Amino acid sequence: MRSPLGKSGLVIGQLRKYWFWYALAALSIAAANVIHALYPAVLGDFADRVEANGLTADAVRRSSLRLLAIGAGYCVLFGVGQYINHRLGRYFEFTTRQKLFRHFTRLSEAWFSKNGIGKLLSYMMNDVTTVRESIANGFNQLTNAIVVLITSAAVMLLSGIPMSVLAVSVLPLGAIPFLVVYFGPRIRRQSLKVQESLAAMTESAEEQFGGIKVTKTFAAEETARSRFGETVDRIRENQRLLVRLSGKFQASLPLAGAMALAVAIVWGGVLVTQGKLSLGHFVELTLYLRMIANPLHQIGNVINMVQRARASLERLNRLLAERPDIADAEGARPLPRDAASIEIRGLTFTYPEAGRPALSDITLEIEAGMTVGIVGRTGSGKTTLAKLLLRVCDPPEGTVFVGGQDIRLTTLESLRAAIGYVPQDGFLFSTTIADNIAFHNRAETRERIEKAARLADIYDNIAGFPDGFDTKLGERGLTLSGGQRQRTSLARGLIKEAPILILDDSVSAVDAVTESRILANLRKTRRGKTTLIIAHRISAVLHADLIVVMEDGRIVERGTHRELLKLGGHYAALARLQGEEAVVHG
């Protein structure tokens, strides 16, 4: 049988795992409605007694107690079923969001560059919530509606009401399947548009909030409001169309029920006046048809919810079908723990959407324990080289080796565990400074955290805060200055004590004296380990064992600081531009 929510491992997995609880909820709701279906029969019997002048005090008491028992039984059983379904729905929401986040962490950096944060939050919030509501509320209402319809029909057939009256009365209900077939797909398609426009709005809001400083600096609040207003207008229009469709559909179902009730009253009333139908049966018939009207309304709600949930599931399934473009190759091996040598053989690399190579014919051999400086103008390929070493982008097979092992045939986890990477704009999280430094291992001791802070020359700054290392940072670390954020990020890279450390312009925001202290600390603590220092300032690479100069994606010079100055090429020209001090140090 095809699931009403389509092919979705998310929903089917939930139903299979918790089938017993779903079955218990369904049985509880079913039992509640079977009991509730006795309500018209009790009133019908009461009406017959009134008509026959056989009503006594004892009969009134018994009828009252029966109605009270029916109400109490219905409330308890229906409440239990609702509680189970809503609890299962919340658990689905919780586990699905965790699954989505795990999936996000597997996707590559390139995928995130094409999908904004707001869009991803829309998946996590809007789509998951829509499916959860369908599972919880939809299951409750659908079970309730089906059982009420079946029990009402069964009791009506067994009540002695003439079949001719029943057949004529329920005839208008035959239009319901046609209404479902017509409106269902249309509601689903429009729901998909609503979810996509909600994602666009979330993405727009995230972008506008992130750039609020720029907006205020340029006094462009009106422009920002206009841009955000356009996304809100799209949501309003899509939701208006969805409400129109849903309203027509939900109004049609009760209309069919009302027509059935009208037919019953007219036809049944004629039969009562002719003496062919008792007053009790007439009361039962009208009450049962009235009971059927509510399930029809519930079915309309359920179909609306299911169609909206199917639209959200389509989006979630498309997301979960995304596969990372960088993954472990079949048979990939982990790196040895102490792997620290790097070898690059004829590396040429072009970004997928670029027209020319970012790197061309790069050949470089770095022995374990060396400190290598990489300098060059912006866009010369320095950061691209770091990304390839980390396999943020995949190099061609057979071109990049770490510890003598091709990184394309190495497990990603072991490769990235062997490399500490500190970018220029290191991201800091909205948590404590200690948690940010110990990000890779939350079990790090305070002693090691403080040691890393000293090596990054940030310890005194942190100690000066009222809460010290327990100071909670604002969003993206805005509590700290640019230089403090950079040094905190550096401490996070140093505490890892990885065999290979890549500093990608990681001290560009600090003054010359602080930079000198940090580099001196690195020389002391990184002995026997490989360090790559990518920099624009020559002062950061003066003492490197090897300096590589890059230009337009190629290595144009290599050597020590003294050798490159004597060469009188690109490096020497850069040294002169940055001041005579760099030349004197040579």
The predicted-structure confidence for 493-552, as pLDDT tens digits, reads as follows 899 889 999 998 888 878 888 888 988 998 888 888 999 999 888 888 989 999 999 999
Q: Give the Cα separation of 121 and 136 in Å (integer).
A: 22
List the alpha helices (DSSP H) in 274-351. 279-320
pLDDT recorded at residue 292: 67
The predicted-structure confidence for 144-180, as pLDDT tens digits, reads as follows 777 777 776 676 666 666 555 555 555 555 566 667 6
The predicted-structure confidence for 402-422, as pLDDT tens digits, reads as follows 999 999 999 988 998 899 999
pLDDT recorded at residue 407: 93
pLDDT recorded at residue 147: 74
Q: Which residues in the chain show pLDDT less than 50? A: 1-7, 580-586
List the alpha helices (DSSP H) in 159-277. 163-170, 176-210, 212-217, 221-273
What are the CA-CA distances from residue 583 to residues 562, 570, 576 (Å)?
A: 9, 13, 7
Question: Does the reported pTM lie above 0.75?
Answer: no
- Exposed, middle or buried: residue 330 (CB in 10 Å: 0-12, 13-18, 19+)? exposed
Distance between the two ends of the chain, CA-based, in angstroms?
79
Supply φ then ψ for residue 517, to 5 degrees.
-65, -40
pLDDT recorded at residue 563: 92
Q: Give the Cα separation of 430 and 424 in Å (integer).
A: 19
Q: In what order do the strands lie in the sheet with 342-349?
A: 359-366, 342-349, 400-402, 405-406
Query: Which H helix or E strand runs over 487?
Result: helix 482-495
* 3-state class (DSSP) for residue 342: strand
